[in-house]
Amino acid sequence: MKKAYLILKNGKIFEGISFGADNKAIGELVFTTSMVGYLETLTDPSYKGQIVIQTFPLIGNYGVIPEDFEGKPALSGYIVREYCENPSNFRSEYELQKFLKDNGIPAIYGIDTRELTRILREEGVTTAAIYHELPKDFSELENFTITNAVSAVSCDKPIKYAANGEKKFSVCLIDYGAKCNIIRSLTKRGCDVTVLPNSTSAEEILATKPDGIMLSNGPGNPEDNKYEIEQIKKLIGKIPVFGICLGHQLTALAMGGKTVKLKYGHRGANQPVKDLISGRTYITTQNHGYAVVSESISDKAVLSYVNANDGSCEGLLYPDKNCFTVQFHPEACAGPKDTDFLFDKFINMMGGQKNA
């Protein structure tokens, strides 16, 4: 049992036990409230540059199941209350500790995650570091910022995925840190999917003559992605567009809207979202630290979904642009009442465009 230390930017120190890689980590400290899905959290590219706290106390109990991975691990560190050393699940291939060590992710257990979460809820997201020996000074925490996050997690060349069964449409998925289930959600609906790097120009995208464009989730401050925003400006209105999470934020910025950093973000599989058109409330999966300012885009878009907890923007419709976007993750499998019907809406949009 080797000690490890979590140090917050304000100087507060938490002592725990190391069960991951031996290297240090510096990152933005955030929490996720999901009761299950720790593998999806650990492999979500949107956590680039962040140290993640699991508020659910027991982690590792069903081991590691590579089939459930959403991408390559991008988070900087991992914090849990209790680590299960002996998982029990017929799909498990190995223990969580091996996964963390193999991927160079330092992790700590034995920390009061409830206290940590209270600190973030009251004071907001902060910078933190994981060390295995206490440093002489904490100056490197003061200067940390997440930079070039999208470029770090995007693919470096186009990748093609064939439709399951008969091909109905071709879709370009712009990879800002795309989760694998977005691809699966499209291919099972008869779409050939071409995943393109974030550096792909609008002209190159349109030259492939896709039936629709998916703008994926991703990490970091949306306003940092100047190039990507400019490309969306050239795409929107020319072809059906569906944006998720960061794709939602970048589309709003491309249309002249604004984004704001939330105090501690929305991360978890239990975020309530109200559909303003039907009046129905959905329990959604989310992972974001920024939100679109609804009022900043009201002259060009229709607010379609809001967060039932804080009223923040969760979805926008662009009626005259053949485009809609959502802040939450419809590709996630949070339960039997999921919002994956939005992919069907995208399919219908492409079908209408094709038959026009």
Confidence of residue 7 (pLDDT cuts 50, 70, 90): very high
Q: If you search the block for the tokens 């491309």, which residue do you land on?
A: 254
340 and 245: one domain? yes
197 and 53: one domain? no
Query: Is the pLDDT at 238 greater than 70, yes or no?
Result: yes
Q: Is residue 139 part of a domain?
A: no
| Residue bearing the bigger pLDDT, 1 or 221 | 221
Residue 111: its pLDDT value, please? Answer: 95
Q: Check which CATH number belongs to the domain holding 167 and give it.
A: 3.40.50.880
Residue 354: its pLDDT value, please? Answer: 67
**pLDDT digits 0-9 by tens, 91-150:** 999 999 999 999 999 999 999 999 999 999 999 999 999 999 998 888 889 889 999 999
Nearest by Cα to 252 from 308, 304, 312, 300: 300
195 and 331: one domain? yes
208 and 233: one domain? yes
For the residues 306-318, what does the mean pLDDT come to? 97
| Structural domain span for residue 69 | 2-134
84 and 160: one domain? no
Q: Is residue 179 part of a domain?
A: yes
Listing DSSP states for 245-259 in one string gives: THHHHHHHHHTT--E
Return the percentage of the chain with pLDDT > 90, whole number: 93
For the residues 329-341, what does the mean pLDDT come to? 81
* 266 is known as an active-site residue: no
For the residues 219-242, what does the mean pLDDT come to? 97
The CA distances from residue 100 to 131, 326, 348, in Å, are: 15, 31, 41
Residue 337: its pLDDT value, please? Answer: 64
Phi-psi region of 245 (alpha: psi -120 to 50; beta: other; left: phi over 0): left
Instruction: Give the burial string for 34-60 (b: 16+ CB within 10 Å, else e).
Output: beebbbbbbbbbbbbbbbbbbbbeebb
* Average pLDDT value over all residues in the chain: 95
21 and 161: one domain? no
Distance between CA atoms of residues 105 and 89, nearest Å = 23
**pLDDT digits 0-9 by tens, 26-64:** 999 999 999 999 999 999 999 999 999 999 999 999 999
Backbone angles phi, psi at 125, to 5 degrees: -60, 140
84 and 221: one domain? no
Q: Is residue 8 part of a domain?
A: yes
64 and 125: one domain? yes
> Range with the lowest mean pLDDT among 23-32, 98-107, 251-260, 337-346?
337-346
Confidence of residue 356 (pLDDT cuts 50, 70, 90): low
Question: Helix, strand, coil shares of the chain as percentages rounded to 5?
Answer: 25, 35, 40
Q: How many domains does the chain have?
A: 2
Query: Is the pLDDT at 334 greater than 70, yes or no?
Result: no
Among residues 248, 266, 288, 329, the one annotated as catalytic is: 329
* 248 is known as an active-site residue: no
Distance between CA atoms of residues 47 and 77, nearest Å = 10
For the residues 217-240, what does the mean pLDDT come to? 97
Query: Is the pLDDT at 1 greater than 90, yes or no?
Result: no
Backbone angles phi, psi at 245, to 5 degrees: 60, -110
In 10 A of CB 135, how many CB atoms? 13
Residue 332: its pLDDT value, please? Answer: 86
For the residues 256-266, what does the mean pLDDT come to? 97
* 172 is known as an active-site residue: no
* The two structure tokens encoding residue 202: 């609008």
167 and 231: one domain? yes
Query: Is the pLDDT at 302 greater than 70, yes or no?
Result: yes
Among residues 191, 245, 313, 323, the one annotated as catalytic is: 245
Residue 205: its pLDDT value, please? Answer: 98
Q: Is residue 107 part of a domain?
A: yes
Backbone angles phi, psi at 174, to 5 degrees: -80, 120
Residue 355: its pLDDT value, please? Answer: 64
171 and 269: one domain? yes
Q: Check which CATH number belongs to the domain holding 122 and give it.
A: 3.50.30.20
